[in-house]
């Protein structure tokens, strides 16, 4: 096979597989081009349920798990205080506490983000809805653009 023939075949193959506006097989992945579910959707109820789960279950459970580890680890550190193992356990405990604190901060930020998104979408919906009465005259007939008569058959 000559170089030109091989090169033409490679170019044809690459062009057949190339897709610049998405990923192949995007079906089932929300928001990806080519997916059957490519629309942006927001559910206030699902966001509220996630916020409730964070407040009532996830954050308290993380706090409880972090505290139970503290108690057991502190007891172990006291038992080994004369050894290098005690210092190692103390260092690990400090790292653990920092991780729990960081996770709690992240969960709080996610909760605030969900709540803020809910308020943003609701505020946008209310603002947009409040603009529609400006388009409807007091007689209730509605606004008729000048080009409507030309498009009446569509």
pLDDT per 10-residue tile (average), the chain, 154 residues: 82 74 53 54 81 91 85 85 88 90 93 84 77 64 47 40
Identify whether the C-beta of residue 107 lies closer than 8 Å to the C-beta of residue 66: no
pLDDT given for residue 16 in this prediction: 76
For residue 35, the tally of other CB atoms under 10 A from its CB is 16
Identify whether the C-beta of residue 96 lies closer than 8 Å to the C-beta of residue 69: yes
Identify whether the C-beta of residue 51 lies closer than 8 Å to the C-beta of residue 111: yes
């Amino acid at each position: 096979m000559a170089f030109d023939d091989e090169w033409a075949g490679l170019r044809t193959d690459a062009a057949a597989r190339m897709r610049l506006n998405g990923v192949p097989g995007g079906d089932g992945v929300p928001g990806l081009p080519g997916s059957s579910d490519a629309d942006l959707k927001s559910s206030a109820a699902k966001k509220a349920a996630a916020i409730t789960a964070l407040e009532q279950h996830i954050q308290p459970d993380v706090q409880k798990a972090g505290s139970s580890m503290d108690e057991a680890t502190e007891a172990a550190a006291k038992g080994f205080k004369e050894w290098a193992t005690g210092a190692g356990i103390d260092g690990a405990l400090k790292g653990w506490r920092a991780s729990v604190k960081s996770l709690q901060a992240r969960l709080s930020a996610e909760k605030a983000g969900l709540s803020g998104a809910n308020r943003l979408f609701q505020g946008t919906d209310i603002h947009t809805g409040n603009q529609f009465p400006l388009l409807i005259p007091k007689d209730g007939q509605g606004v008729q653009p000048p080009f409507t008569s030309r498009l009446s058959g569509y």
